[in-house]
Structure 1
Amino acid sequence: MDVNFEPQRGRSFSIEVGFFDTILEIKEKVKKYQGIPVSKQTLIFNGNVLKDDLNVEHTEILQNSHIQLMIAASESDKSAENSSSLSKKIQLNVKIPTYKMHVPLEMEVTDTVGKLKEKIQEMEAVPVNRLMIHSSGAELQDHRSLCECEISENSDIDVSFRPSPTAASPAAMAALSPSPGPGPGPGLGPTTLLGSKKLKLLVLPKCGTKKIPVEMNASDNVGELRKELQKLQEKLQFSLPQEGYFFIYKQNVMDDDRSFRWHHVGQGDTIEVFNGSVTGGS
């Protein structure tokens, strides 16, 4: 029987598979006809990642079924992508609170956000540690390069200032001090403050090429990401699958009812959108 494969990028294709073929054997056929290494393939059917030792009979794959194919990027692909962007100059439109108009600023795409702050400090006499840089609503981290932050030619950069540090009041000191004793207390310890830190994530729509920056709490359930994307959809002009979709993180289907912390999602990680719906395994 013929089965249709839908890569996350590129054209769909079909391959003839046998009723008792294992998923590993199907991957080997994909390698034979499409040249995609088996180790780079992840097959998803009805929202489930197909394990190599399962066969077609146990996965309910039928004639003309559609299987989504995720292809992991190779190191050579990554290095080629990185090398193509080396030494490329871009002009940014920087909005500083004390300036009435955007200020043009030339940078290398390989420059870090920290270096961008140093350039801004030359124009505005404000300590680097008080500068906050935002693009598309997300705060940019000092150690990341402009390329990693999806900053390109004529990107808008918003600059804001952190308040000057002042002497901490007794109430503030009490809030920062750990609670006495082993049990929970009225004070908020440093761990509590750290736990409330926002996660800066990037979401890659299935048919999109530009990643969408999103801020979420680590304790939020993945389902909250849907609401956030709906809010940003009109503002940032991107499309989501109309027939329904689910999220993939590090080639695993995400559970809407579990938190980002449960999925071990980290700062700056990318979450991919796939069309379809997640169903229980057979």
Structure 2
Amino acid sequence: MKVTIVAWGREFGMEIGFQESVLSIKRKLEQFLGIPVGGQILSVFGWELVDGLDMEDYPIVSHGTKIDLTLKSLSPQFPHCNKIQITVKFSAKQVTIEVDRTETVRSLKEKIHIVDGTPIRRMSLYFSGIELADDFRNLSEYGISEFSEIIVFLKNMNRLSRENQQTPARKLEIVLQMSSSLINAATIPLEIKDSSTVNELKQLVLSRKILPQDDYLFIHKQRIMRENCSLKWHGVESGDFLYVFRGTVTRGGY
């Protein structure tokens, strides 16, 4: 498909594949414009495209879509840069990941999920023998710094089942943000239990006649949500925005 790259008030076309990664597109731009991959930010409608994902993960990207290219601001105070390299160790391998000191444990889990595919809900992360148990604490609060080693343990399904039984369902106050083609890009506040699946959310919206009968995609934090999984499974919290687009996911492995 052909997309339009928009940078500094100029536009130019680029052919990309439906399965091409964001990182691959950045490498093409590096060859074409001379901008280092690490200095590029690609975004669509204000959403930054994540290096570890490909175009199939972004239903908003199609033939003719405009992708904005901006540059990351480089701080002259390099010694105080918040970016650090950490090592993430699994049972049979290890990977190096770049993170920001101000990132949360949840954000680190999302990056590990992108790199390794490990389900977020099965992860237990440990640093220096201490579990990173609070998803919303910053990494720096746990003393994580350059070259720190994070150990990933996987919870077994029995433990997950017990945790789910012990944790009562909570009511979430979320906001549905419609795409520009749906009811004038309206924002709709909604209250729903975190144990509800995405499909149940869709049926609720349709039953209230908020949207016409059709197929829809729900996106949370730049990821397509799975219909048979709960909002809790997706890490949705009160106050979060869910973006709604017309369409279906047809690729295998979804």
Structure index of larger Rg: 1
Asked if TM exceeds 0.5, the reply is: no
Q: Give the TM-score, by structure 1 length.
A: 0.37
